[in-house]
Copies of this chain bind each other. A is one copy, B any other.
Amino acid sequence: MKKRYQRKEKSIEELMDGILSGDRVTLAQAITLVESNSIRHFEKAQALIQAILPYRKKTIRIGITGVPGAGKSTFIDTFGTYLTEQNLKVAVLAVDPSSKVSKGSILGDKTRMERLSRNQNAFIRPSPSGGTLGGVSRKTRETLLLCEAAGYDVILVETVGVGQGEFVVRSMVDFFLLIVLTGAGDELQTMKKGIMELPDLVVVNKADGDNISKAEKAKNEFNTILHFLKSYTEGWETKAVTASALKETGISDIWKIIQQFQETTEKTGVFEKRRKEQQLEWMHEMIKEQLERMFYEHPEIKEILPIYEQEVISGQKTVASTVLQLVNRFSNR
């Protein structure tokens, strides 16, 4: 069995050749390797990524979020199709922190992006399922690198407006787009704290038919809020616009805004600076995650931690002395 499997498995060189030549099947296989939790696959995936790093295309990475029902899939279907009509290759990835619970992500689901999924210049990959948010984040970031080596020009990273997904996606993209519906106030009440401070553009979707005047009103409301908040990107003012993914209106304007954003931030150096900072942040985030994992999975710590927690809550022990005892136990292992 093992031998047969090994014969079928592509070598790093074969994978690399396939990716660089734009072969979608090989790209999908490489992503599966990246998403694997086995140690052997991890090492092979790392060697592959390292090999393809110099061959990546210049891209724009766009994060897309919004509450469920805001029309993310329809928007990506329409927007992605528009981009391919501009002779651009589009990859759609997804980060779904809830996929562990719901067993299988609904993000990046090809059936929800009907036109785009049949498009030869588009590549759709659903969210890796299972694992920690940090693990999902690593897999998506590495998949993004593979797509850039495979010649995709625009990488769309989709996430839902729940959990920590938006913050993770914000930290791996150049441009962040928030899709909302009419009724800004009510909607924001259901959204996560801090979300309004992340986007580079707010799109009020479903601005069509009877909904147009409501959408315009919502746009103005969002612009009022945005005026009061600090922009996420230095030298760029976040604004709200209306669009209809269904009726395909406002889509080319959004792409113009994104191009303008890229031009502006490349001129000021903010674009390149952000990418470098994102790399280092990711590295230090992973270090922290690994350190905490080592601590909290340590058998002795696992056993005594709940007892110590109770003693702290009940006031039998001070926080500082308890922490010192725990960390000393851990480091003397």
Binding site for B on A (CB under 8 A): 42-43, 46, 49-50, 53-54, 138, 141-142, 184-185, 188-189, 191-194, 196-197, 221, 224-225, 227-230, 232, 276, 279-280, 282-283, 286-288, 290-292, 294-295, 309, 312-313, 315-324, 326-327, 330-331
Contact A197 B193, beta carbon cutoff 8 Å: yes
With A185-B228, A276-B313, A292-B288 already in contact, the answer to whether A49 and B327 are too (CB < 8 A) is no
- Bound CA–CA A313/B279 (angstroms): 7
Assuming A196-B229, A276-B313, what are 9 further A-B pairs, CB within 8 angstroms?
A46-B318, A50-B317, A54-B315, A188-B228, A189-B230, A193-B232, A283-B322, A283-B323, A288-B291
B315 touches A53 (CB 8 A): yes
Known: A292-B291, A295-B287. A282 touches B194 (CB 8 A): no
A280 and B331 CA atoms in complex are apart in Å by 21
Task: Indicate which residue in B193, B228, B294, B313 contacts A194 across the interface (CB closer than 8 Å).
Answer: B193
Q: Quickly give the copy total for this chain.
A: 2
Known contacts being A291-B295, A291-B327, A327-B291, is A286 close to B320, with CB within 8 Å?
Answer: yes
Query: When A138-B320, A320-B138, A321-B50 are in contact, do A230 and B188 touch as well, CB less than 8 Å?
Result: yes
CB contact under 8 A between A319 and B282, given known A294-B327, A313-B276: yes
- Closest Cβ of chain B: how far from A168's Cβ, in Å? 14
> Can you give 27 contacting A-B residue pairs, CB < 8 Å?
A43-B321, A50-B316, A50-B318, A50-B321, A54-B315, A138-B319, A138-B320, A184-B228, A185-B227, A185-B228, A189-B230, A193-B194, A193-B197, A193-B230, A194-B194, A196-B228, A221-B228, A279-B319, A280-B309, A280-B312, A282-B319, A283-B323, A287-B323, A290-B323, A290-B324, A291-B295, A291-B330
B contact residues around A185 at 8 Å (CB): 227-228
Q: Give Cα distance in the complex from A286 to B320, angstroms.
A: 8
**C-alpha gap A98/B142 in the complex (Å):** 37
- Residues on B with C-beta less than 8 A from A288 are 288, 291-292
List the B residue with the shortest CB-CB distance to A308.
B283
The chain B residue with its CB closest to the CB of A222 is B228
For the complex, what is the distance from the CA of A46 to the CA of B241, rounded to whole Å?
Answer: 56
A51 to chain B, nearest CB (A): 10
Q: How near does chain B come to A218, taking the closest CB pair, in angstroms? A: 11
Whether A286 touches B319, Cβ cut-off 8 Å, given contacts A276-B313, A279-B313, A312-B279, is yes
- Nearest-neighbour CB distance to chain B for A196, whole angstroms, equals 8
Residue picked from A43, A54, A193, A232, most chain B C-beta under 10 Å = A193
Of the listed residues A184, A224, A230, the one surrounded by the most CB atoms of chain B closer than 10 A to its CB is A230
Question: By the criterion CB–CB under 8 Å, are A321 and B228 in contact?
Answer: no
